[in-house]
């Protein structure tokens, strides 16, 4: 008379074969190092400072575009975030990051939410952010200035493409808050070369022109 174990063994074998046929399980959505490309986000600091004047970057430093973050991104417009393990920054790593980020609060937030998902570790991530920044030239027309200006989102995009001819037409997007310029985002592949954003980034400025606030 067959035992329960002898009856179960063929079933276990069939299940194992089916699992092997399906292939390995997909990586978790928030697994470090699992993403399609990077988004380099450059924030127009004067707009941010109108809403958050108490922030450290708004103390008369005269910033224009600043690093908001280097974000791992999926092509389907999703992104990983807060990838384990979330390790605390050392003093040396924090000093490295503060050479690029305009405030310690932003540095800590960006490391925990986005940097942990790069799979590079803190030093590698901040090095990648530094090299990504070097890939993008800020147009002279969008350097910090005391007076406010008005430009369309398309004009902002055109200026960036004019001074960065390696960025494809679909590799840059402009974002605004109400009628104010907020950010310019550039897509970079894992080797940090400009790439098309595909469906991931479209921008969302509908106004015919944007206010570009003067520096604070």
68 is catalytic: yes
DSSP 8-state symbol, 147: S
**Helix (H), strand (E) at residue 175:** strand 172-177
Burial state string for 106-116 with b = 16 or more CB within 10 A and e = fewer than 16: bbbebbbbbbb
Sequence-ordered list of residues with C-beta below 8 angstroms from that of 79, at least 6 positions apart, any chain: 35, 39, 71, 72, 73, 114, 117
Q: What is the 3-state secondary structure (H, E, C) of 16-76?
A: HHHHHHHCCCCCCCCCCCCCCEEEEEEEEHHHHHHHCCCCHHHCCCCCCEEEEEEEEECCC
Residues 171, 9: Cα–Cα separation, whole Å = 54
114 is catalytic: yes
**Helix (H), strand (E) at residue 187:** strand 180-188
Q: Which tokens belong to 113? A: 């939410």
109 is catalytic: no
Q: Which residue in the list 108, 114, 163, 183 is annotated as catalytic?
A: 114
Q: Which residue in the list 93, 105, 108, 110 is annotated as catalytic?
A: 110
| Burial class of residue 69 in the structure, from the number of CB atoms within 10 Å of its CB (0-12 exposed, 13-18 middle, 19+ buried) | buried
Residues designated as active site = 68, 110, 114
């Amino acid at each position: 008379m067959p035992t329960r174990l002898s009856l179960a063994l063929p079933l276990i074998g069939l299940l194992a074969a089916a699992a092997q046929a399906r292939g390995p399980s997909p990586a978790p959505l928030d697994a470090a190092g699992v993403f399609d490309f990077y988004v380099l986000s450059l924030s127009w600091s004067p707009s941010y400072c109108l809403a958050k004047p108490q922030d450290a970057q708004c103390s008369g430093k005269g910033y224009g575009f600043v690093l908001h973050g280097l974000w791992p991104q999926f092509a389907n417009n999703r992104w990983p975030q807060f990838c384990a393990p979330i390790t605390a920054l050392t003093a040396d790593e924090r000093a490295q990051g503060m050479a690029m980020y305009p405030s310690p609060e932003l540095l800590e937030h960006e490391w925990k939410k986005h940097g942990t998902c790069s799979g590079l570790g803190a030093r590698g991530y901040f090095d990648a952010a530094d090299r990504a920044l070097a890939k993008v030239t800020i147009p002279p027309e969008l350097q910090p200035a005391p007076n406010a200006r008005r430009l369309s989102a398309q004009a902002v995009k055109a200026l960036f493409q004019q001074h960065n001819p390696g960025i494809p037409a679909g590799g840059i997007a402009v974002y605004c808050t109400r009628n104010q310029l907020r950010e310019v985002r550039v897509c970079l592949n894992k080797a940090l070369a400009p790439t098309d954003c595909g469906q991931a980034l479209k921008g969302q400025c509908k106004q015919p022109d944007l206010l570009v606030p003067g520096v604070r």
